[in-house]
């Protein structure tokens, strides 16, 4: 039986960013689904739990931080690794990593995203 393809949910309000990331994933044999905002992301995750969430932080309609908190506070979903993607600075990384309520994200990348770096990080997180 062939191994089930891993699935990454790409959450970003920028259609170009979604297309770029899903193309990089598909080109590397990883299935992807997308959501354009936090509300859509939560609905998608509740329908079908992905193996990894690539999550943009700054979005209208429920920020990436709200989606992240929702995932990490849910007993069924907290094991899903999250790769946070943001144009925001190192200060934000320190901030989200010091929140007491939730653990720090499993991965973190700054925009603009480098395709090689992205796929390398995704593979690393999917192995766990």
**Which tens digits make up the pLDDT trace of 41-85?**
999 999 999 999 999 988 877 888 899 999 999 999 999 999 999
Q: Write the DSSP symbol of residue 101.
A: S
Q: How far apart are CA 118 and CA 123, in angstroms?
A: 9
Higher pLDDT, 112 or 9: 9
Higher pLDDT, 98 or 15: 15
Domain segments of the chain as ranges: 7-119
Task: Place domain 7-119 in its CATH homologous superfamily.
Answer: Response regulator (3.40.50.2300)
Q: What's the mean per-residue pLDDT of the chain?
A: 89
pLDDT of residue 4: 76
The CA angle 71-51-114, to the nearest 5 degrees, is 95
Q: How far apart are CA 6 and CA 33, in angstroms?
A: 11
């Amino acid at each position: 039986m062939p191994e089930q393809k891993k699935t990454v949910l790409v959450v970003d309000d920028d259609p170009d960013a979604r297309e770029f990331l899903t193309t990089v994933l598909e080109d590397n044999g990883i299935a992807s689904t997308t959501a354009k905002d936090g509300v859509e992301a939560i609905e998608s995750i509740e329908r079908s739990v992905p193996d990894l969430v690539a999550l943009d932080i700054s979005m209208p309609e429920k920020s990436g931080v709200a989606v992240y908190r929702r995932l990490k506070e849910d007993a069924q979903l907290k094991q899903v690794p999250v790769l946070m993607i943001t144009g925001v600075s190192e200060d934000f990384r320190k901030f989200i990593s010091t929140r007491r309520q939730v653990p720090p994200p499993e991965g973190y990348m700054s925009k603009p995203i480098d395709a090689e770096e992205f796929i390398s990080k995704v593979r690393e997180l999917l192995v766990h």
